[in-house]
Chains A and B, each alone.
Chain A
Amino acid sequence: MKTITLTVNGTAYQETVAPRLLLVDLIRERLALTGTHVSCTYEGACGACTVLLDGDAVKSCMMLAVQADGHSITTVEGLAVDGQLTPLQQAFKEEHGLQCGFCTPGILMNMTDFLKKNPRPTDAEIRHGLIGNLCRCTGYINIVKAVRAAARAAAAQTGGQ
């Protein structure tokens, strides 16, 4: 067993874990943050488990919890502050960017990182950015729309800069 410290959604945790525990299982089973989903389990192909690791979108099923020692994680629960949705979450709601919602947390986390690095994406760039997230409801058209709307809303807020 190994004791690790990490920050999840701004809260510091100290956890004693087996080295084989996956990061996604620490998040879901120990910290009870079940917004992070698991779908493909070991191919690392579906993106449902995507979280931010020090700001970068990564698949939490592809990491051991011990690797996150000393790092900062953000999960979908950490996006809204005091119930106030982020522009990206708001856009998913308004543009009907989700159907069953299973893929949505992973997509929100990936696109949060994506829009931070590319605030004015083209549709082609949005689609390229979404490759690592599968939506089994195949609602990609509205997902792309929602990301585009979020980018526009953010641009409008900053005065179109």
Chain B
Amino acid sequence: MFPVAIEEYRRPKTLVEARLALDGYDPDDIVLLAGGQSVMQAIKARMVRPRCIVDLQDLAELRGMSRADGLTIGALTRYVEIAEDTGLTGGYAALRDAAQHVGDRQVRNRGTIGGSVCWNYVASCLPAVVLGLGATVDLLAVDGKSRQIAIDDFLIGPLETARRPDEFLVSLHLPKLGAGSGSAYRKWGLVTDALPVVGVCVLITLASDGKIAAARVSLSGLAAGAQRAQAAEFILTGSDGGDAAITAAFAEAAGAADAQADKWADSAYRRQLIRTLGREVAETALQRARAGSTGAKP
């Protein structure tokens, strides 16, 4: 397989240059290239036929994580950097759970969180995780205008987001998740670290009496794309996080899910995965939240 002829390759050094780099082509004929771990497959298969490639690799402004008022993750931050950041504990731990098990080392050395969220593939990890953690997405348009939107509004459906073709994803911002918050993510795939047939992310925040003050639950691998499991959130919130509550929450989530049947799993199996993974992930998230609230190392 070989890409179609590409007329232009541009590599802007700053965001200002990047906006100018979109000039001269219809935005639909341009591909913004980050780690290439999704879009290069599509380009080689000629499913995507760019006339112009704008390579984002030199945009230092889009790299790295900062911890002022929550956590801001630059769009070009690679999986390997998230996977190795031992400071991502408590409420942010799900990011590491996911990043450590995306594909393989070579994919993690190139793939970026921004690319994963913009591609928003059905079977993907980070879109569901940042949905579960309640991220805000920071976009910059070619005319210099920026907008911040909730991840719930950004992820529309498989391979579809609210990003316009002339917009750059600059960063993802996660709210401050202090002591008493814990999150976790786990997926099941056909082989180790494969694309998720189902993945579950849970974020729990404890109240001072040890009950669950707030819960967010999200699922990956379902045909409609990364989605919240609000039925489970409703049951977990206000509960003591005990066995009965967790079982009921994921029974409800599994029942409510539109679980497709395909060659990887039938719908009954997908529902079972939601129940089994959901329990494990909720228990891990709770442990992390409790460890944080007692000051122990999560």
Interface size on A, residues (CB 8 A): 31
Binary B-proximity of A51-93 (CB < 8 A = 1, otherwise 0): 0010011110111101101000000000000000000000000
Chain B's closest residue to A44 (CB) is: B41
- With A62-B37, A69-B11 as known contacts, state yes or no: A50 contacts B106, CB within 8 Å: yes
- With A19-B9, A44-B40, A62-B37 as known contacts, state yes or no: A132 contacts B103, CB within 8 Å: yes
Answer yes or no: A129 CB below 8 A from chain B CBs: yes
Whole-angstrom distance between the Cβ of B270 and the nearest chain A Cβ: 23
Residues A129 and B105 in contact, CB atoms below 8 Å apart: yes
Q: Which residues of A contact B110 (CB under 8 A)?
A: 56, 58-59, 62-63
Interface of A is mostly: mixed
Binary B-proximity of A111-155 (CB < 8 A = 1, otherwise 0): 001100000000000001101110000000000000000000000
Q: Which residues of A contact B40 (CB under 8 A)?
A: 44, 62-64
For this complex, into which size category does the number of interface residues on chain B fall? 20 to 34
Whole-angstrom distance between the Cβ of A151 and the nearest chain B Cβ: 16
- With A42-B44, A62-B36, A131-B193 as known contacts, state yes or no: A57 contacts B109, CB within 8 Å: yes
Cα A42 to Cα B37 with chains together (Å): 10
Chain A's closest residue to B78 (CB) is: A56
Write the residues of chain A forming the contact surface with B, with a CB cutoff of 8 angstroms: 2, 18-20, 22, 41-44, 47, 50, 53, 56-59, 61-64, 66-67, 69, 110, 113-114, 128-129, 131-133
Write the residues of chain B forming the contact surface with A, with a CB cutoff of 8 angstroms: 1-9, 11, 33, 36-37, 40-41, 44-45, 53, 55, 57, 80, 103-107, 109-110, 192-193
6 pairs, A vs B, C-beta closer than 8 Å:
A20-B4, A41-B44, A57-B109, A63-B40, A63-B110, A131-B192
